[in-house]
Amino acid sequence: MSESSLDQILSQRHAARKEIVGLDDPAVKLVIFELGGDWFAFHGDRIREILAQTAVYFVPGCPPSIEGVINVRGDIESVLLLYELLRLPAPPDSCGASILLGQGGGMTSGIRVERVIDVVDVPQNSVQPPPSTLPEHMRPLVLGLLLFHQHTVTVLDLDRIFADYAKEAE
Amino acid sequence: MSEVAVAGATIDLVVFRVAGHLFGVEACQVRGSRPADGNVSGMLDAECLLLGLPPAPPVTTRWLLRIKGDPEDWELCVDAPLELCRLEAAAVHRLPDLVGARTGLRQLRALALSGKEVMSLVDLRGGPVMPPGGSVTPPPHPA
């Protein structure tokens, strides 16, 4: 066995070891999704449901960041677009495939996402605190950062997003 | 269903369309209606009041709704068909939290499920108050 192969094996073992979740480590469920080319996540306990192919109805008088409303088994919920809030480039038309039905800060709303990547349990300590280099507008909205499949995932605070969004009108 | 509705309660609505979108107003707020026989100058166009759009040439038959006012009644020009309908209270929903917080249309009070559509229920008792310009999303062309 060549040295380089051994190095590879040891490297793989080392990586695999890092992925083993200790039973005593508290885990957190995350719903990871893509928006504007970046990966984000909400805590799983804030997402009631993931809806696909749901008809969105226009409601007059809403700002562009509210796509409309959806009928969720007889209940009417709003659909929020996060592009403006997160200052992400919005696609030319609303092409997101899924809607996350979120609950936070005493409010419920759908959130349009381009793609749901995964729903995972990760060790709580793998979510790092937000760095000081985070843009000013993101600081209040971010709970932490996580490395997942070689992507940086920004964990967002849904309570704060809903509360700030509702407050903006005041 | 998470909202509690009074069993058996109903609401009478005058239902109309504006640029293809479905609206309803409580029948008790409407004194009457008449066809808008071509000349609607001086009448308030619902596209301006409820959608924040400039008036457009009509594509359907138009009606004038006479809205009870204090002190004076006023007329609102809407698209046909104009219908009187009775809706069960269970079909009426309060505005979703974020819509209620951010709507620029002060007349918007509730939403209702009507077939495969969502009807915007408006309260016109406050008179013809226009939405602030430029703050609302232009409506999509209805399917």
CATH of residue A103: 2.40.50.180
ipTM score assigned to the predicted complex: 0.79
Please report, rounded to a whole number, the percentage of residues in chain A having pLDDT higher than 70.
87
Residues of A in contact with B46 (CB under 8 A): none
B98/A78 CB distance under 8 A: yes
Q: What is the mean pLDDT of residues A71-80?
A: 93
Name the domain count of chain A.
1
d(CA B63, CA B80): 6
Q: Does residue A161 form part of some domain?
A: yes
Whether residue B48 contacts residue B130, with contact meaning beta carbons closer than 8 Å, is answered with yes
Q: Which domain holds residue A157?
A: 27-167
Of A118-132, B23-37, B42-56, minimum mean pLDDT range: B42-56
Task: Give the residue from B98, B107, B117, B119 with the most A CB atoms within 10 Å of its CB, the best one to mutate.
Answer: B98
Q: What is the pLDDT of residue A103?
A: 96
Q: Does residue A4 form part of some domain?
A: no
Name the domain count of chain B.
1
Per DSSP, the residues of B43-111 read SEEHHHHHH-------SS-EEEEEE--SSS-EEEEEEEEEEEEEEEGGGEEEPPHHHHHH-S-TTEEEE
d(CA B65, CA A82): 38
CB pairs under 8 A between A and B: 94
Q: Does residue B57 form part of some domain?
A: yes
Q: What is the mean pLDDT of residues B92-115?
A: 92
Scan for tokens 């309570």, then name that residue: A159
> What is the pTM assigned to this prediction?
0.81
CATH of residue B16: 2.30.30.40
Q: Does residue A132 form part of some domain?
A: yes
B26 Cβ contact list (under 8 Å, min separation 6): B11, B12, B13, B14, B121, B123
Q: Does residue B1 form part of some domain?
A: no
Q: What is the mean pLDDT of residues B63-73?
A: 88
Q: What is the pLDDT of residue A157?
A: 97
Instruction: Fill in the DSSP letter of residue A128.
Output: B
Grade residue A47 by pLDDT with cuts at 50, 70 and 90. very high
Q: Does residue B96 form part of some domain?
A: yes
Q: Does residue B129 form part of some domain?
A: no
CB-based contact, B141 to chain A, within 8 Å: no
B96/A62 CB distance under 8 A: no
Residue A102 has pLDDT above 70, yes or no: yes
Q: Does residue B37 form part of some domain?
A: yes
Q: What is the mean pLDDT of residues B90-113?
A: 92
Max mean pLDDT among A14-23, A99-108, B6-15 falls in A99-108
CA distances from A168 to A21, A65, A85, A88, A126 (A): 41, 12, 11, 18, 33
Q: What is the mean pLDDT of residues B8-20?
A: 89
Closest residue, chain A, to B112 (C-alpha): A76
Closest residue, chain B, to A168 (C-alpha): B102
Q: Does residue B94 form part of some domain?
A: yes
Mean per-residue pLDDT of chain A = 88
Q: Which domain holds residue B26?
A: 10-122
Smallest Cα distance from B81 to chain A, Å? 19
